[in-house]
Amino acid sequence: MKILVLNCGSSSLKYQLIDMQDESVLAKGLCERIGIEGSKLTHKAPGKDDFELETAMPDHGVAVKLVFDALTDAAHGVVKSVDEIGAIGHRVLHAGKKITESIVVNQEVKDIIRECFDLGPLHNPANLLGIEACEKVVPGKPNVAVFDTTFGMTLPEKAYYYAIPTEYYEKYGIRRYGFHGTSHNFVSHETIKFGNLDPEKAKVIVCHLGNGASISASIGGKGVDTSMGLTPLEGLIMGTRSGDIDAAVVQFIANHEKLSVDEVLNILNKKSGVLGLSGVSSDFRDVEKAAEEGNHMAQVALEAFQYRVAKYIGSYAAAMNGVDAITFTAGVGENDKATRKEIVEKYLGFIGAKIDDERNNVRGKAALISSDDSKVKIFMIPTNEELAIARDTLRLVEA
């Protein structure tokens, strides 16, 4: 079966068409500036010329129609008709407490996605628009919602409750949900497969280190803890997010700078993290270059980032009373061998983790990067959220 994976943002739509027979990507592309002047579709299919189309996309419905047109086009298309596409898998941010697994979309599912608009104000409305657009453009084709929050649904109560009055959980569902769930789910299972680990008992820590960064602990692929919380702000130091912080800092800055809580949260989400500390950039490559050139705060930013990752690894090893494997993934985790090496060498000797420099010199494909005498296996495994969504979609439509 061929499955279309859609990731809708408020003004963009990313897609991949995956042939599930061999899990190959038949085509992928992007619609940008939906609802804004200057909309553009970029479509790439291996073995064919890239296709670009600048045309008005007043809404997601038009964008979805253009995607199906591109996929079925005689010149740059990859299928003869939309009938060849079996189902559509949608990345959806938030399901609150109500949905705990990927699910075939029906009216009730759409209602829940809508109910969670205030938990995912930037993403959920766009995700729903994408689903509704598909229902309009290809009626009858099954739509599957794959939520970023479902990995966090297996967390035990001691991990997901915040230690605040429980009335806020009852009234508003305030708890730890965790994000990057599709990635943590995919990479933890890939770690078990690739590393030949016990599928029921393997204790795995996944470090998803990208511009947004989070870390998870899982046993047999089931989430035990994860560092992002009610929103993606909690946990690791990220490109522009502060991660963990004393909540009183919000009050202090708001009072002294005469800012609203929303404005301070905006600073913590968009102007903090590696960018805020270094004053240079949110991109790790820029910060690393500045640090090499002697910029002290750029060096501090990188060290603080690594230190926070290491502290979480330590605490998750304790949370699981042991760890069999640690896996690095996402932009920094997959590409930055120096960061991987420093985290392991500076901080993880106490659990007997040892990196192998030659194995660590890897990119683009899954690899064991620890030495043979390491007590914990360390891996680099590329994440693939689209494939994870396609696999769940296939499983559900074939069920």
Q: Is 109 in the site for ligand ADP (CB under 6 A)?
A: no
Task: Pick the closer one to ligand ADP by CB: 128 or 209.
Answer: 209
The 10 Å Cβ neighbour count of residue 136 is: 12
Cβ distance 382 to 375 under 8 Å?
no
Q: Is 12 in the site for ligand ADP (CB under 6 A)?
A: no
Q: Tell me the window of 124-132, 229-237, 281-289, 291-299 that interacts with ligand ADP (CB under 6 A).
A: 281-289
Q: Which of 284, 312, 316, 328 binds ligand ADP (CB under 6 A)?
A: 284
CA distances from 52 to 49, 62, 233, 302 (A): 10, 16, 35, 38
Q: Is 331 in the site for ligand ADP (CB under 6 A)?
A: yes
Q: What is the chain's alpha carbon radius of gyration, rounded to the nearest angstrom?
A: 22
Cβ distance 133 to 63 under 8 Å?
yes
Q: Token pair for residue 213?
A: 């960064």
Rounded least distance, CB 329 to ligand ADP, Å: 8
Closest residue by Cα to residue 313 from 383, 208, 239: 208
CA atoms within 13 A of residue 113's CA, in its CB half-sphere: 29
Residue whose tokens read 């500045």:
290
Q: Which of 11, 42, 72, 211 binds ligand ADP (CB under 6 A)?
A: 211
Q: Report the residue number whose CB is nearest to ligand ADP.
A: 331
Q: Which of 120, 181, 223, 239 binds ligand ADP (CB under 6 A)?
A: 239
Q: Is 210 in the site for ligand ADP (CB under 6 A)?
A: yes
- Helix, strand, or coil here: 398? helix
Task: Pick the closer one to ligand ADP by CB: 291 or 330.
Answer: 330
The 10 Å Cβ neighbour count of residue 123 is: 22
Q: Token pair for residue 158?
A: 């001691």
Rounded least distance, CB 278 to ligand ADP, Å: 12
Q: Is 305 in the site for ligand ADP (CB under 6 A)?
A: no
Interface with ligand ADP (CB under 6 A), residue total: 12
Q: Is 10 in the site for ligand ADP (CB under 6 A)?
A: no
In angstroms, the CA 32 to CA 41 distance is 6
Q: Which of the residues 50, 73, 83, 148 is marked catalytic? A: 148
Q: Is 212 in the site for ligand ADP (CB under 6 A)?
A: yes
CA atoms within 13 A of residue 87's CA, in its CB half-sphere: 23
Dihedral sign, Cα of residue 87, residue 20, residue 210, residue 349? positive
Q: In what order do the strands lie in the sheet with 40-44?
A: 51-54, 40-44, 24-32, 13-19, 2-8, 85-92, 143-147, 103-104
Rounded least distance, CB 221 to ligand ADP, Å: 21
Element (H, E) at 273: helix 273-278
Rounded least distance, CB 333 to ligand ADP, Å: 8
Q: Which of 70, 233, 330, 397 binds ligand ADP (CB under 6 A)?
A: 330
Compute CA 219 distance to the chain's CA centroid, rounded to the nearest angstrom: 19
Q: Tell me the window of 5-13, 107-115, 209-217, 251-259 that interacts with ligand ADP (CB under 6 A).
A: 209-217
Task: Pick the closer one to ligand ADP by CB: 324 or 334.
Answer: 334
Rounded least distance, CB 144 to ligand ADP, Å: 22
Rounded least distance, CB 91 to ligand ADP, Å: 12
> Is 148 a residue of the active site?
yes
* Residues lying near ligand ADP in the complex (CB under 6 A): 210-212, 239, 283-285, 330-332, 335-336
Q: Active-site residues: which are they?
A: 148
